[in-house]
């Protein structure tokens, strides 16, 4: 099984690329994992955010691999604890899916069609997080899931 984290932003503007890369490499010990930046819609974001979100939705859905479940991150989504998140990934792994894609929206969030198309919508918590921080938290939770599944000592229950 492979993992992809699809996110909107400019890699050069990322304040913590080393942190993401550290977690990505740790996750890759179990599952090949890639961090995929997508270009946010530029023109008219302030005047017409719905149009910008629609453009971003097109970019995201056009990039999704076939037969991969999509997990959309949204503050209104389902809340899982870390062992529950690890168990979800184990079920995908044991179910033979070729990979799982995670979507982190831009500063505008994710368009409703992306959330509707997603196999699951997960929340990282009830607070709104900047998309850059949400991406870091997701990568950390992916690593924590790897550690939980291998019986490591990183996660302290």
User: Is there a domain that residue 127 lies in?
Assistant: yes
Overall number of domains in the chain: 1
State how far the Cα of 5 lies from the Cα of 14, in Å rounded to an integer.
Answer: 15
Structure pTM? Answer: 0.94
CATH of the domain at 145: 3.40.1280.10
Widest CA span of the chain, in angstroms? 50
Closest CA to 6 of 77, 79, 62: 62
User: Is there a domain that residue 79 lies in?
Assistant: yes
User: Is there a domain that residue 45 lies in?
Assistant: yes
Task: Report CA torsion sign: 115, 120, 124, 125.
Answer: positive
State how far the Cα of 5 lies from the Cα of 7, in Å rounded to an integer.
Answer: 6
pLDDT values of the chain reduced to their tens digit, one per residue, 157 residues: 999 999 998 777 777 779 999 999 999 999 999 999 999 998 778 889 999 999 999 999 999 999 999 999 999 999 999 999 999 999 999 999 999 999 999 989 999 999 999 999 999 998 888 888 999 999 999 999 999 999 999 998 7
Q: In three state form, how does the secondary structure of 26-82 look?
A: HHCCCCCEEEEEECCCCCCCCCCHHHHHHHHHHHHHHHCCCCCCEEEEEEEEEECCH
Q: Answer for the pair 104, 138: CB distance below 8 angstroms, yes or no.
A: yes
User: Is there a domain that residue 157 lies in?
Assistant: no
User: Is there a domain that residue 8 lies in?
Assistant: yes
User: Is there a domain that residue 22 lies in?
Assistant: yes
User: Is there a domain that residue 70 lies in?
Assistant: yes
User: Is there a domain that residue 155 lies in?
Assistant: no
Q: Which domain holds residue 43?
A: 2-150
β-pair type (33-38, 70-79):
unpaired
Cα three-residue angle 137-153-31, rounded to 5 degrees: 55
């Amino acid at each position: 099984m492979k993992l992809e984290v699809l996110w909107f932003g400019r890699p050069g503007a990322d304040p913590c690329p080393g942190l993401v890369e550290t977690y990505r490499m740790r996750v890759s010990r179990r599952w090949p994992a890639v961090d995929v930046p997508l270009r946010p819609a530029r023109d008219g974001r302030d005047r017409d955010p719905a149009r910008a979100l629609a453009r971003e939705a097109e970019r995201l859905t056009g990039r999704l691999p076939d037969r991969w479940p999509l997990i959309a991150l949204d503050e209104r989504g389902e809340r899982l604890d870390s062992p529950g998140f690890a168990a979800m990934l184990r079920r995908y792994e044991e179910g033979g899916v070729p990979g799982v894609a995670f979507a982190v929206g831009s500063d505008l969030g994710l368009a409703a069609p992306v959330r509707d198309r997603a196999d699951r919508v997960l929340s990282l918590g009830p607070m709104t997080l900047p998309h850059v921080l949400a991406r870091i938290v997701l990568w950390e939770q992916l690593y924590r899931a790897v550690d939980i599944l291998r019986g490591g000592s990183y996660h302290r229950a």
